[in-house]
Copies of this chain bind each other. A is one copy, B any other.
Amino acid sequence: MKQKAVVLMSGGMDSALCAGIAAEQGYEIAGLHLNYGQLTEARELQAFNQLCDYYNAIDRLVVDVKYFSQIGGSSLTDNSIPVPPASFDKSNVPNTYVPFRNANILCIAASWAEVIEAGALFIGAVEDDSSGYPDCRASFFEAMQQVINLGTKPSTNIKIVTPIINFSKMQIVQKSMELNVPLQLTWSCYKNEDKACGECESCKLRLKGFSLSGYRDPIEYV
């Protein structure tokens, strides 16, 4: 019997590639999507469901984490803080940083993984383009692995897998092409839900990845 992997899937390219890598490694996919009240949630959820269909997910779960809006402190979840223009400056933690988000979502994923007896938990964190977020670094994930080992039942064994942590967006596009990851189903734009804006930080990173890899982005832009 195949082992299960919980794959955190926002609906973007990084998590789609994670699903592709997990499938290639022989795991059955259990897709986990988090709704934390972002502007483009409906479009991301659609991408999540289409990706789950594509990978024949044996299980899928959508969890409401709107509490991030209550907690605030980030332009992505607090409407009173403006989203800044795209920036590749990594020296400061930008205001799009949602405080301690990855720890929160890994805990939710680990709870579910424990219940469904999954052996792995894939997360598409990328150190390079994470603009200085402290919870996107390898050392953080190692510490989180310890917490999972100590805080779950003795019979539970969940391995955190960060398969693209050292990838550039160019490599993400290249590897996705190699594994036939359906990038046409993914959504990255922070702003629009019909045609991608091409201007926000997320669109710019995506377009840069396609441009450098020499592939054409299959989604539509305004």
Interface size class of A (residues with CB under 8 A): 35 or more
Residues A107 and B111 in contact in the complex (CB < 8 Å), given A71-B61, A146-B146, A153-B134 = no
**Is A99 within 8 A of B71, CB to CB?**
no
**Is A143 within 8 A of B140, CB to CB?**
no
**Is B97 within 8 A of A101, CB to CB?**
no
**A47 CB to nearest chain B CB (Å):** 21
Does A103 sit within 8 A of B, measured CB to CB?
A: yes
In angstroms, Cα B137 to Cα A156, docked, is 17
In angstroms, Cα B152 to Cα A115, docked, is 28
Does A114 sit within 8 A of B, measured CB to CB?
A: yes
**Is A107 within 8 A of B110, CB to CB?**
no
Does A67 sit within 8 A of B, measured CB to CB?
A: yes
Partner of A99, one of B65, B68, B111, B135: B111
**Is B151 within 8 A of A134, CB to CB?**
yes
Does A144 sit within 8 A of B, measured CB to CB?
A: yes
**Is A63 within 8 A of B67, CB to CB?**
yes
In the bound complex, residues from chain B placing their C-beta under 8 Å from that of A135 are 150-152
In the bound complex, residues from chain B placing their C-beta under 8 Å from that of A143 are 143, 146-147, 150-151
Does A100 sit within 8 A of B, measured CB to CB?
A: yes
**Is A111 within 8 A of B68, CB to CB?**
yes
29 contacts between A and B (CB under 8 A): A61-B71, A65-B67, A67-B108, A68-B111, A71-B112, A93-B153, A93-B154, A99-B110, A99-B115, A99-B152, A99-B153, A100-B107, A100-B148, A103-B107, A103-B110, A103-B147, A103-B148, A104-B107, A104-B108, A104-B111, A107-B107, A134-B150, A134-B151, A134-B154, A135-B151, A143-B147, A143-B151, A146-B147, A147-B147
Residues of A within 8 A of B (CB): 61, 63-68, 70-73, 93, 97-104, 107-108, 110-112, 114-115, 134-135, 137, 139-140, 143-144, 146-148, 150-154
